[in-house]
Amino acid sequence: MALYRGSLDRSTRLYSLTVCARFKLFFLHESSTLLQLKDLAEGKDSMLIAELWVDKARATISHTWNFMPLDRQLWAYRWYHICFTYDHTSGLINTFLDGVVVQNSTYLVGRPVYGDYARIGQGYITQSSYSGDVSQVNVWDGVLSDAKIQAIARCRQDPQGDYISWESEWELQDATTYDLPLRQFCEREEGPIHFLFPDVYDYTAQYVCEALGTHLPIIDSLADSRALFEVTRTTWPELHVPYLWSALNDKKDEGLFVYSYDGTPGDPLVWATNEPNGLVYENCVAIIATGLIDVNCPLTRAALCTFREPKRFSFLGTCEEELRNIYFVAYQDRADSLYFRGYGSYYISKENGTWTWTDVVQDHVVATMEASDPDFPMGRRWWLLEREVCDQEPGGRRRLLLTPCDYEDFTCDDGTCISHHSRCDLKYDCRDESDELDCELVAFPQEYQKHLSPRPPGAAFDNLRLILDIAIETIDIETFGMIMQLSYEMEVSWFDDRLKYLNIKPEKDLNKLPMKNVLQIWIPIVQFLNTIGIHHTIVDEEATMLVKQRTPPFKRDESAPAEVDVFSGLENPISIRRKYSTRYTCDFDLTLYPFDEQFCDMHLLVEAGSVSHLELHPNSSVIYRGRALLNEYEVEEIYMVYNKSLQSNVMRIRVPMIRRYGYAILNIYIPSLILMAISYLTLFFRTSIFEARIMSTLTAMLVLATLFTQVSSSLPKTSYFKMVDIWLLFCIGLTFLVIIFHILIDKQMVKEETTTPVLKRVVYLLVNTWQSPRLCLRVPADPFPAGGGEARPPGVIPPASIITSLIFPLLLSPNNSRPRRTAMQPASVARAMPSRGTAVLQAERRHVKLHLNRTITAVSLGGSDAGRMLVERGSARITNERMAAGRSNAAPSFIPPTHLSPSNPPTLPLYLAHPPTGPSSLSIHQLTHSPSIPAHLPTSKPAISSTQPTLPPQTPLHPPKPTLQPTQPTPKPTLRQPAHPQTTLHQTQPTPNPLSRQPSHPQTHTQPSLSTQPTPKPTLPSCQPTPNPLSHQSISPLLLNPAHLLLQTQPRPMEFNLSLKGRPQQRQRSPHLLSGALLRPRARL
């Protein structure tokens, strides 16, 4: 302590001031007081005080003070310069360390500083005395500028204070003085400090120097070698040291000498003569005066540890809160001795062969170290307690650490230092692999309960906020099942203020908690609501719990025998993450399919037990790491939906998607459009090919219906129409309208056709069917003619008269005056085979029947009164059902047949009967056949042949009209004439057959002429009369309606090509067959 003997005037009041001092610490009590100013007259002890700690300082101004934390800790045996300034106008107090502002604060003192007593090195209590060197203590009445303070700290100026001056007189008490140049204060003390340990093994020499914070000596030249041995001779003259251990060795690779502390090769090496020569037997290196030699490692040599400055050691695991009781400095007062003196009251020294931890102030032993090899206290060692340490009773065994490593380093068990970040980083960095031991990350308090959720102090009614982070990796959408398959990683983070975290790192992946800690920590549960089944978060071996460092550590763990940083659980979150693969149900709106936009939500609920005090934080996030383009959809930006109407612990994660409609275009719309175009193009087909038109359209509609079914089966069943449904229904409906249009066209064409052309074709067909038969009509006597005429004698009617009497009444009938279709289509082909068969051609209200057997071929043309013909062998029966009532009194229309002569009777009987009364049946018997064609019939190429000719659909059925050229006037024949003139048919060219498919030739055809000249009568078989079962009834003349025609021919197989055209088959609405044009029939054989 030193008392100020300069001038101190109590009347001088200091409102603004500056205090500066230069110091070097040796020892620290509870605090170290540099300067104290007090007023003895008024008994004020704290007018001005400057105090120091290892990590902070304090300036007391007129009984007002505030702590000033320093930016770095103070080391012993180092010079520092410190200043305090106070400006009473602003209330600003600045603290300068070595000329740099390290802390400032503002407070108004409101009182001046004055006094009459000042001293240095001693405070108002004994425990605050100062131990160390001090110089340049000055006080100014006012505030010095920052530049001037920096100049003083850097030894460029040495101004004296105007209130207290260092150059004034001081009275020393328990203190000494020495002179030191100004520049030396600013020069870093770098002096070789040497510790010598003779007769130790190589591994002990390596350990002791590195555990003291240095290395074994390294020489680059012979001068360095001689200098080391000069130090040993001058510092320890009583010892003879011929060899010194070097840091080099080639233990791993023979001939490759590396440094033991970092493994780098030594280059260049100053070897002594003929060295190295030990091969594999000498792997260590020693230093002699002439250089380096290789030696055997088990030998003992001296170890010289050299320091450039004193090292500060930390004694960890003692639960000491004051840094002065943690920091030590190593000393050696003789060779092979070592002790450590603390900044406070502790000493560590070797007493009676045992290392002892002693409190020199209290004068008692705290603990003793267990024996170890090497026998030094540096590093992690076990100590036997003799006093209570960290609430551990005396007699216990405790592990403590004495290390020279800096605050940012970690100490291995052997005392060596590595980076603090390298500890517990999942790889070995210490040579003894101790850096991956005791990697505990969580400190649980004794009152911790897992089933209780964390509640911040003072926030009893606040919910605990959880941060939910989801990283989606893959998305698979099933449109049919409305399901979204997600593969994602979910991470839930929260703050637990009850926990303390140890040595966590900025990289969160290095802060993984072991499973034993995971099972001890409270964990929230996240329910997945819209999934198939019951799903929630799981805590198992696949789950990873991490601690995230958000803030720096708030302290070091004084109870841990290592450099353990402590982090607050209130400021650093804990999280648990796990990968999941979940199927979520979706609610798609497919109205606009396939041009729709959809979204699917993840419904999440966070809970903790029966009562939830949780809510989801707005800082929750979701990201998508997969491809945006899926097979069916394009994924847009995924986001979270916050709904105020929902609970605070419920969240929805929405996955928006746009459907990729390329597949639908290629597989639905383009095919359906093509099919619809095909159905439309059938409207441009020729109207005569009705089957091609209708079948093409029906095929298109069938394919569209199949496509519609296929598309519907690939989509979910919905009660509403989708856009694709509307399109396909439109295509099907449009195709259906085309079908209807085809039917209407065909129906209209049928209406435009009249009955007359059809009947003409039928008669022409019937006439040209016969090649050889002679047709004859035997008319029995009619004693009671209808209408009251004269009685008619029996006679014969030629075929021309038959045709004339049949056709003209039909043509003139009013029932056949309806318009008929003109375009005909081929109906059927019937072929008479040797076996019995029947062909039926039927159309609306009219039918044609072909009865085929071995002997008779008959055609029946029915009228409106439903004619029916029954053909038997050798006979025919015509039956007229439902004869028209009321016609019996009507006079029948009769056209007398022409060329009727008794001398030329027909050989084939044909009866046409319409009796006004009596039975409505007529029996016809075949008398004979004629092999020749009557002369009065027009000759033509037969339309029916055994060679089965074909008929094109467009070939008209109208036969060419023969030109009749009479050469002489022909008297009109009557029924009463016994004979008629013979009619001669002249034919120079065959009349073309319209039923034949033979192409028509361009030659000019000469029309046949009809002549009335008598011709020789052909020899014909006589027509034998046969019994007439209806002879007792009157035979009426030919009637207009109904008309029936029966033709018979000789029994031989024939082939019929029958081409009839008419409308399609329709449903029979009544059993009546109305007269009219023949419609398109259906054939049944």
- Note the pLDDT of residue 785: 54
**N residues, the chain:** 1085
**pLDDT band (50, 70, 90) for residue 98:** very high
- Span of 151-165, 1011-1025, 1070-1084 with lowest mean pLDDT: 1070-1084
User: Quick one: 130 and 216 in the same domain?
Assistant: no
In angstroms, how far is the first alpha carbon of the chain from the final one?
145
Q: State the average pLDDT over residues 64-80.
A: 87
Domain boundary (186, 220, 254) is at 186
Stretch 668-695: mean pLDDT: 92
Residue 452 lies in a domain: no
Assess contact for 636 and 696: CB atoms under 8 A.
no
H or E element, residue 526: strand 525-528
Where helices occur in 884-952 by DSSP H, the ranges are: none
Task: Say if 900 falls within a structural domain.
Answer: yes
Considering only residues 248 and 1008, tell me which one the structure prediction assigns the higher pLDDT.
248
pLDDT at 349: 92
Residue type present at position 217? P
Mean per-residue pLDDT, 199-217: 91
Give, in order, the Cα–Cα distances in Å from 373 to each of 195, 200, 376, 1066: 19, 12, 8, 119
In which band, very low, low, confident or very high, does the pLDDT at 799 lie, cut at 50, 70 and 90? Answer: low
* Pair 75, 222 in one domain: no
The answer to whether 790 and 781 have CB atoms below 8 angstroms apart is no
When pLDDT is cut at 50, 70 and 90, the band that residue 966 belongs to is very low
Of 307, 334, 349, the one marking the end of a domain is 307
Q: What is the mean pLDDT of residues 567-595?
A: 92
pLDDT band at 287 (very low <50, low <70, confident <90, very high): very high
Q: How far apart are alpha carbons 82 and 586 in whole angstroms?
A: 71
Tell me the mean pLDDT in the region 954-978.
41
Indicate the residue type of 79.
Answer: W
Q: How many CA atoms, within 13 angstroms, populate the side-chain half-sphere of residue 1052?
A: 12
Instruction: Report the alpha-carbon distance of residue 203 to residue 1025 in Å, rounded.
Output: 156
The DSSP output letter for 777 is E
User: What is the span of the domain harbouring residue 11?
Assistant: 2-186
Which residues, including other chains, have CB under 8 Å from residue 1007's CB and lie 6 or more apart?
A: 960, 962, 963
- Residue 623 in domain: yes
pLDDT-based confidence at residue 643 (cuts at 50, 70, 90): low
Check which CATH number belongs to the domain holding 286 and give it.
Answer: 3.10.100.10
pLDDT at position 895 over 90: no
User: What does the pLDDT look like over 221-231, one tens digit per residue?
Assistant: 889 899 999 99
Note whether 506 and 559 are same-domain residues: yes
617 with 735, same domain?
Answer: no
Rounded to whole angstroms, the Cα distance separating 879 from 921 reads 5
**Would you list the DSSP string of 18-41?**
EEEEEEEEEEE-S-EEEEEEEETT
**295 and 361 together in one domain:** no
Cα torsion 998, 1004, 1009, 1015: sign: negative
Q: Which of 289-293, 482-486, 769-773 has the lowest mean pLDDT?
A: 769-773
Q: Of 52-61, 780-789, 813-822, 904-913, which one has max mean pLDDT?
A: 52-61
In the chain, % of residues over pLDDT 90? 33
- Give the span between the Cα atoms of 50 and 36, in whole angstroms: 7
Do residues 233 and 160 share a domain? no
Which burial class, exposed, middle or buried, applies to 881 when counting CB atoms under 10 A from its CB (0-12, 13-18, 19+)?
Answer: middle
Say if CB 23 and CB 82 are below 8 A apart. Answer: yes
- Number of structural domains (the chain) is 6
What pLDDT score was predicted for residue 426? 87
Using a 10 angstrom Cβ sphere, with 0-12 exposed, 13-18 middle and 19 or more buried, the burial of residue 274 is exposed
pLDDT at 699: 94
Neighbours of 110 (CB within 10 A): 10
Bigger pLDDT: 153 vs 606: 153
Mean pLDDT of the chain: 74
Calculate the CA 685 to chain-centre distance.
51
Spatial contact of 1034 and 989, defined as CB atoms under 8 Å apart: no
The answer to whether residues 605 and 719 belong to one domain is no
Whether residue 128 is found in the same domain as residue 240 = no
Looking from the CA of 544 toward its CB, the CA atoms found within 13 Å total 15
CATH number of the domain bearing residue 633: 2.70.170.10
From CA 975, how far away is CA 786, in angstroms rounded? 14
Question: Is the separation of the CB atoms in 548 and 492 below 8 Å?
Answer: no
Determine the Cα–Cα distance for residues 866 and 843; give it in Å rounded to an integer: 13
**Per residue in 312-346, pLDDT tens?**
899 999 988 888 889 999 988 888 889 999 888 89
Q: Are residues 298 and 326 in the same domain?
A: no
Q: Between these two residues, 36 and 998, which has the higher pLDDT value?
A: 36
Compare 939 and 560 and report the one with higher pLDDT.
Answer: 560
- Please list, in sequence order, all residues whose beta carbon lies within 8 angstroms of the beta carbon of residue 400, skipping any fewer than 6 positions away: 315, 316, 317, 318, 357, 367, 380, 381, 383, 561
Average pLDDT over residues 533-558: 90
Give the per-residue pLDDT at 1077.
Answer: 32
Residue 988 lies in a domain: no
Which of 385, 404, 423 is the endpoint of a domain? 404
Q: How far apart are CA 921 and CA 49, in angstroms?
A: 156
Q: 419 in a domain, yes or no?
A: no
pLDDT, residue 991, reads 41
Distance CA 92, CA 88 (A): 7
In-domain check, residue 955: yes
Q: Are residues 519 and 668 in the same domain?
A: no
Average pLDDT over residues 884-911: 37
pLDDT band at 902 (very low <50, low <70, confident <90, very high): very low
- Residues 180, 198, single domain; the answer is no
Whether residue 735 is predicted with pLDDT greater than 90 in this model: the reply is: yes
Gap between the Cα atoms of 72 and 78, Å rounded: 13
Which CATH number does the domain housing residue 129 bear? 2.60.120.200
Q: What is the longest distance spanned by two Cα atoms in the chain?
A: 192
| Separation between Cα atoms, residue 711 and residue 703, nearest integer Å | 12
Quick one: average pLDDT of 684-711? 92
Comparing 108 with 482, which gets the higher pLDDT? 482
User: Which is higher by pLDDT, 932 or 517?
Assistant: 517
How far apart CA 840 and CA 259 sit, in angstroms, is 119
Residue 974 lies in a domain: no
- List pLDDT tens digits, range 855-868: 333 333 333 333 33
Residue 784, pLDDT > 60, answer no
For the segment 429-475, what is each residue's pLDDT rounded down to a tens digit? Answer: 998 899 998 888 999 998 898 888 887 655 555 778 888 999 999 99
User: For residue 501, what are the contacts with CB-CB under 8 A and spacing of at least 6?
Assistant: 441, 442, 443, 511, 547, 566, 567, 568, 569, 572, 574
Which of 123-127, 337-341, 581-585, 609-613 shows the lowest mean pLDDT across its residues?
609-613
Whether residue 959 is predicted with pLDDT greater than 90 in this model: the reply is: no
Task: Answer for the pair 15, 112: CB distance below 8 angstroms, yes or no.
Answer: yes
Give the CATH number of the domain where residue 731 resides. 1.20.58.390
Q: Are residues 36 and 74 in the same domain?
A: yes
Q: Is the pLDDT of residue 874 over 80?
A: no
Q: What is residue 892's predicted lDDT score, i.e. its pLDDT? A: 37
What is the pLDDT at residue 385? Answer: 94
Supply the pLDDT for residue 269.
Answer: 87
Query: Residue 879: what pLDDT?
Result: 36
Alpha-carbon gap, residue 828 to 826, rounded angstroms: 6
987 occurs within a structural domain: no
826 DSSP β-pair partners? none
The reported pLDDT for the residue numbered 152 is 93
